[in-house]
Structure formats: structure tokens, C-alpha cells
Amino acid sequence: MKGKIPRQFIDDLLSRTDIVELIDGRIGLKKAGKDYQACCPFHNEKTPSFTVSRDKQFFHCFGCGANGNAITFMMEYDKLEFVDAIEELAAIMSLEVPRENAPSGPQRSFEEKKSDYDLMLQAAKFYQHQLKHHSNASEVIDYVKGRGLTGETVQKFMIGYAPPEWESLCKQIARKPEHKQQLLDLKLATEKTPGRQYDFFRDRLMFPIRDKRGRVIAFGGRVMAQDQGPKYLNSPETRIFHKSFELYGFFEAKQAHKHLEKILIVEGYMDVVALAEHGVDYAVAALGTATTAEHMQTLFRNTDNVICCYDGDRAGRDAAWRALEHALPNLKDGKSLRFVFLPDGEDPDSLIQKEGKPAFEDRLSTATDYTDVLFSKLRESCDLTNDAGKAKLLSDAIPLINKVPSEYYQDSLLDTLARLIGRTREQLSAKLTSNKKQQNIERQFKVTPMRRAIGLLLQHPTLAKVVDYMPELADMSIPGIQLLLAIQSLCLNNENISTAMLLENFREQPEFDALRKLAVWQHGVAEDRLEQEFKDTFQFIEDQCLNYRLETLLIKDKTEGLSSDERLEYALLTKALKQ
């Protein structure tokens, strides 16, 4: 497993990145005062409300509320995971991403990693060339046409052909000893006897698998005749390919849609390609494995609507159940999970060939909600005509409902469960492990003195120097004081720290969302008044802390009595607060 990316590297990456140049290169920006503006790339608008600040290295949309630093922009705009966004920014600057606690052994350099992706792309282009120019090309092209695919779709998915000869790819690419070893490592070649390599894929239609950044990382090979062995041969896992994290067609779907309103999960490469041929260009497939938790997390980060399409037989329903279990923790408010089960003997490829796009999408519009699939599966092993069966259903359902983060969806599931076992939802709510209602109450975001101080410091890190740093205040039970001191410490220890860099230090912390709001809060303080405003606010907080300490000593004096040092402290605090 890869090691953690050091915090110092992330800070350095953000300090080197000019967010204005980064975003301007993607959507185009216009100067507006000291900042830059554009129409927001995250929602439709005619009047620009998307602002980018070079001083803060931060973007904010006053229309939809989207905001963040360069890493956040890469994640949202390019639909990348956190680590992928960092690696993409690092690649732009030709930097190597270091790792803490990385596995022992030699670490691969930036150039070595790039070489892997270059070689995989060479292989994909080799297979594409063979599709047109091999002696079997006419037969392969006839097969492709017979499957209803046009040249445009073949090109879009980089589909190629692996020749039947034993060493075609090896002879073309492995001309140097290091390339021979690289082919073996990336599982494009196999070695049955020392020094003698053979192509891993032979006489198969080739489907390159691309990662979220569009790089070729693996292949799926499909036979074109029934007696040629297993229908599909997939790349084994390698140092750049981990099948539980990747989805075939995901990159292509993102390229086809600025915003993915829905994503359809199917089971095979040909299903994805055939659907795209007919205009259903939002389908993806797991890579020779069941849909994993990582797959579901990726999908729900990129769309609100996921539809799973499986065979209607037992195997298909078992696959649907595994997908449902992995999806439950991602069902936040507004997220939708539905299922389509196909008629016997049909798959998405065959069905869309027969029905066409309108009829196929009609099936999707009437897909079964996940709640029906969940309780249908649970009821299979429960006899609800007796108490034992009802108790079993309750026991099986509650742990699954607990996984759902949405209070609304939890209540809906509890209503269904209550009807099935003859209870009320209120009786069942106590069975949940946490009080979701309390957790999900949306409080109005009021700017208290503490939030005011934190917001000013976030937006203007140089203010950290205008007041004394007093770590002893962290012992006071004043909400937010530890966060304020942590931010002040970061500012004091990093002279050139920006708003973007400060926020990045708290990305995985529970305070992150509140800090993002404060980073774009319109404080309305004139620039020449900032220092005094911050001093006054900090003084108010300091007095709060001193009052808290004074009350603590007063209570102790009445209950246990004070030591001589504590009496002196009490006297000094009383005097200080009177001044």
C-alpha cells in the first residue's frame, strides 16, 4: 500500500501552484479588481459569480457556494480523488510525490512511473494499429461491425486487436533489456522459460482500461470465437493497476458529460461500449470483480444517481446485493440508488441492439429503488408469520440501516421495517447506534467572536503576529480556542502561508466545512482596520478565557479550597479583569 503524502509536500505544492493560472487554463478568467472572475464551471449561470483570488490562492462561487484551493478545484473540475489531484498538480510541475512510511525497497522515480504509462500507451497504440493492418484485420473488423460498433466508438474507447502470434508485442516494444522486464512487470508479457517472453494477450479484441486521468493502466481482451478459451482475459494487478479501485468506461463517461446526472453500472466491457454506441454514454463496468466499496465511493462522488444493471438470475441478484451493501454508507441526502434486472438471456449489449436507446432508457426510468431490493433480499430468510422471523428481520436490517448516513433515508427504511414486523418507527429508532437527528440538524451559521477571529486569521494569515501567542489558553474550555491557536501557530511557523494552505491542513478534520465557510465570509472590515479589529476580537476571547479560569478557581475555593499559588493567581486575574 502506498505511504501517506507528507503534509510539508502538500503545502509546498500549493505554494508553487498559481491557482489563477491553473483555473484560467481550464475555463478562462477575466480580471475584476484585484481578483479574477468567470461563469462558474460547477453550475449553469449567465452572469459571472465565480471568483478566484491570487492573494488567498482560493476560489469561491457566490452562486452555488463552491469554494476551495487548487487541490479542491482539481478534484471537483477534473473529477479526481484527493491523491490523484495531488499527483496531477505535481506532474504539471514535474515534481515527484514523496511518501511517508512507504513500503521498504527501492522507490520508483517520477520518470520511472511516467515510463510505465508511456509503455502502456505504446501497447494500446500497437493494438490499435493491428486492428487495421494485421493480416486478420478484415475478419476482426467484420466482427466489430457485426457487434454494431462504428469506427467513431472504436476510436473513442481505443479498441484494438492483439495478434495471434506469440511475440508480436514483445518484438515491437521490448527492444531493450529494461523494456523486457517492464513488459513482464506490467503483465503485458509472460515468461515460461528464463529469457523467453511471450505476449500475454493473443488473438483477442483489446479494450484498454484508463484511470481517472485518462492514462492506460491495463487491458481486457475478448475472444471472437467460442472455442478460443475464456471469453475475457483481464490484466492481472500491477504496480499501476488495482482493479478494486478502477471502473471501465469511467474516464470516457466523464469526457462525454460536464456533469454526470446519472451513472449506470453494467457487467462487461462490451456492454459499456455498445451502450455508448447507442448514445447511453454514462455506463461503467467493474473489472472482472464485484462492485467494491471503493467503486461506490467513486461513483457517488461524481453523481447523485447510480443505477445498477444486472441479470435477473440468482447470480445477478447476488451481485446486486453486494453492490447495495457497499453503497449504503454513501447514501447521503439527495443520493439515489436503483436497480434494473434484465430478462433471461439478455444483457445490456443485446437489449439495446433490439430495443434502441428510448426503450432501454425507459427501463432505467422505472428502475427498482434500493429499499425494495434490500427488504426483498432480507425477507428471503425470514418467516414473517411468526415472532422468530420478525426478530430475525429486525436483527438483520438494523445493522444495514445504521450504515446509511441520511436521517431521511433512515426514517424511510425504519417505516418499512416497522410495517413488516408490526412495530412503530419510534420503537425502532432506539435500536440505531447514534442519534442521527441530533447529528444532522443544520444550525444557522452565526459569526460569533471566536468565528470572527478565526475567519479574519484564515483570510489574513499575517494577523497572527499582531497578538501574543498564548498556548496556555488551550486548557480553557472555550469552544474553538484550540482551533484558533492551532491556526495561529501554523501562521507563525510558516511565514508565507496562504488561506489555501491553511485550509489544506484541516481537510480531514471535522472543522473543515466550517473553515471553508469562514474562508469566504464577507467580514466587511476595511484593510486599514484589520489589525485593530483582530486585536479587539482576540482581547474579547482572552477575557472569556480569563473569566472561565476565574470561575473555576472560585468554585474550587468554595468546595476544596485553594493553594497559595492558586490564591495569587485568583488575585491577579481579578485585578486584570477590572482593568
Show Cβ contacts of residue 400 under 8 Å, excluding neighbours closer than 6 positions: 325, 328, 374
Q: What is the predicted pLDDT for the residue at 107?
A: 59
Q: Find the radius of gyration of the CA atoms of the chain.
A: 30
Q: What is the predicted pLDDT for the residue at 347?
A: 92
Q: What is the predicted pLDDT for the residue at 187?
A: 93
Choose the weakest-confidence range: 59-68, 366-375, 484-493, 538-547: 538-547
Q: What is the predicted pLDDT for the residue at 160?
A: 97
Average pLDDT over residues 103-110: 58
Closest CA to 270 of 206, 364, 360: 206
Q: What is the predicted pLDDT for the residue at 436?
A: 43
Q: What is the predicted pLDDT for the residue at 579?
A: 56
Q: What is the predicted pLDDT for the residue at 559?
A: 76
The grid coordinates of residue 538 equal 482576540
Structure confidence by residue, pLDDT tens digits, 21-35 = 999 888 889 998 889
Please provide residue 204's backbone torsions phi and psi, each rounded to the nearest 5 degrees.
-140, 150
Show Cβ contacts of residue 23 under 8 Å, excluding neighbours closer than 6 positions: 29, 36, 38, 52, 59, 73
Choose the weakest-confidence range: 3-7, 347-351, 372-376: 3-7
Write down the pTM of the prediction. Answer: 0.67
Q: Between these two residues, 552 and 125, which has the higher pLDDT value?
A: 125
> Using CB atoms within 10 A of its CB, is residue 163 exposed (0-12), middle (13-18) or buried (19+)?
buried
Name, of 31-35, 88-92, 252-256, 269-273, the range with top average pLDDT: 269-273
Report the alpha-carbon distance of residue 438 to residue 511 in Å, rounded: 17
Length of the chain: 579
Q: What is the predicted pLDDT for the residue at 244?
A: 85
Structure confidence by residue, pLDDT tens digits, 290-323 = 888 889 988 988 899 999 999 888 888 998 999 9
Q: What is the predicted pLDDT for the residue at 88?
A: 85
Closest CA to 297 of 340, 345, 337: 337
Q: What is the predicted pLDDT for the residue at 106?
A: 53
Instruction: Tell me the one-letter amino acid at 93.
Output: M
Q: What is the predicted pLDDT for the residue at 342?
A: 93
Please provide residue 41's backbone torsions phi and psi, each rounded to the nearest 5 degrees.
-80, -5
Q: What is the predicted pLDDT for the residue at 78?
A: 78
Q: What is the predicted pLDDT for the residue at 103?
A: 52
Q: What is the predicted pLDDT for the residue at 109?
A: 67
Structure confidence by residue, pLDDT tens digits, 194-241 = 778 899 999 999 999 999 888 999 999 999 987 767 888 999 999 889
Structure confidence by residue, pLDDT tens digits, 73-104 = 988 887 777 888 898 888 888 788 887 765 55
Report the alpha-carbon distance of residue 11 to residue 95 in Å, rounded: 13
Q: Answer yes or no: is pLDDT of 509 > 80.
A: yes
Average pLDDT over residues 498-522: 88
Q: What's the mean per-residue pLDDT of the chain? A: 87
Name, of 374-378, 560-564, 572-576, the range with top average pLDDT: 374-378
Q: Answer yes or no: is pLDDT of 443 > 70.
A: no
Q: What is the predicted pLDDT for the residue at 165?
A: 94
Q: What is the predicted pLDDT for the residue at 439?
A: 40
Q: Between these two residues, 445 and 220, which has the higher pLDDT value?
A: 220
Q: Answer yes or no: is pLDDT of 168 > 80.
A: yes
The grid coordinates of residue 400 equal 444495514
Report the alpha-carbon distance of residue 71 to residue 516 in Å, rounded: 14
Q: What is the predicted pLDDT for the residue at 442?
A: 34
Delineate the domains of the chain, giving CATH numbers in brackets. 7-92 (3.90.580.10), 110-234 (3.90.980.10), 247-374 (3.40.1360.10), 381-436 (1.20.50), 449-578 (1.10.860.10)
